[in-house]
Structure 1
Amino acid sequence: MKNVSLGLAVLTLFSCSSITQKSKGKTYFADLLKDVDKVQLKFFNHGDTLSEAITDQSEINIYKELITGKRDPKQKIKCDSTGQILFLTKEDIILNAYFSSRASGSKYDKACVTYSVEPDIFGSALTVRSGQDIDDYYFKLRSTAIKMAQH
């Protein structure tokens, strides 16, 4: 009888964890990010971190669109971290994601984003809008840093 009870307990635990893992989809992340009022972009510029704070909600939505809870195994995306996206609510970090783009120093051709909610790791390609936005911020920040260094 103990073996049957133990078996049922293990089976129930396994079933519940499967349900929990499946629930980390688009609605899970939409709820998680619904109150985000600031996005912090950080670029790892060869040891010299460049940073930009974004508070415009329409621009924040560009980055929220990246966080879908999906993994695309067909794309086999390779991501090296050239930067970080911090999703914040009242200065508290809600989610931490890493991105890479060719313009910001990635050795890979495809721009992508990765993030995790233990124990799962998610990743996808950057959208055209987010990729352009990230590259624009990188070039602007890098240009400003170069000008500051020359003076």
Structure 2
Amino acid sequence: MKKVSLGLAVFTLFSFGCMSHKSKGKTYFADLLKDVDKVQLKFFNHGDTLSEAITDQSEINIYKELITGKRDPKQKIKCDSTGQIMFLTKEDVILNAYFSSRASGSKYDKPSVTYSEETDNFGSALTIRSGQDIDDYYFKLRSTAIRMAQH
């Protein structure tokens, strides 16, 4: 009887561990990102990486909103990683996410973001705010790079 009870206890703990691992949702990622004080945007501009650091908390929140821990199989998210969003706390990378948008060179029409935590992969469409913000930074950085290359 003790062996059955011990086996049942181990099975129950294992089951709850798997369930908590599989249910990384909005609250898990909100806790993970709560202390983020910097977001680093990197654009993979055909081999020439462009980068922008964001420290304004209201702007950081635009990117935090993307990290929901959801997967929408109906959306069939396709991300060809034209850039990266690094979430940082005191210069330590907390989470890496990859995005794609038409403006930054994606071959897909729908702008999206993908990220993973351990073995779980997540993806969603960019919000209007984040998509516009990413495109604005890309155009600003690219025009600056072009001007600097001409001089």
Match of residue 20 from structure 1: 21
CA shift for structure 1 position 51: 0.1
Which runs of 5 or more structure 1 residues have no equivalent in the other structure?
none
Corresponding position: 1:48 with 2:54: no
Match of residue 125 from structure 1: 125
Match of residue 92 from structure 1: 92
Which piece of structure 1 moves more, 8-17 or 79-88? Answer: 8-17
Aligned residue runs from structure 1 range 108-147, under 5 A: 108-147=108-147
Question: 1:27-48: CA deviations, max 9, x gaps?
Answer: 1111111111100000000000
Match of residue 149 from structure 2: 149
Counterpart residue type for residue 19 of structure 2 = S
Aligned residue for 2:130, secondary structure, equals helix
Q: How far apart, CA to CA, are the structure 2 residues paired with 1:6 and 1:78?
A: 45
Aligned residue for 1:108, secondary structure, equals coil
Report the aligned-residue RMSD: 1.6
Which runs of 5 or more structure 2 residues have no equivalent in the other structure?
none
CA shift for structure 1 position 18: 1.5
Q: How far apart, CA to CA, are the structure 1 residues paired with 2:38 and 2:16?
A: 37
Question: 1:81-119: CA deviations, max 9, x gaps?
Answer: 000000001111011000000000000000000000011
Corresponding position: 1:34 with 2:34: yes
Aligned residue for 2:145, secondary structure, equals helix
Q: How far apart, CA to CA, are the structure 2 residues paired with 1:80 and 1:43?
A: 12
Q: How far apart, CA to CA, are the structure 2 residues paired with 1:81 and 1:44?
A: 8
Q: How far apart, CA to CA, are the structure 2 residues paired with 1:56 and 1:12?
A: 42
Aligned residue for 1:75, secondary structure, equals coil
Normalised by the length of structure 2, the TM-score is 0.93
CA shift for structure 1 position 21: 1.8
Aligned residue for 1:116, secondary structure, equals strand
Q: How far apart, CA to CA, are the structure 1 residues paired with 2:71 and 2:93?
A: 23
CA shift for structure 1 position 2: 9.5
Counterpart residue type for residue 29 of structure 2 = F
User: 4+ runs of 1 displaced by more than 6 Å?
Assistant: none
Aligned residue for 1:39, secondary structure, equals strand
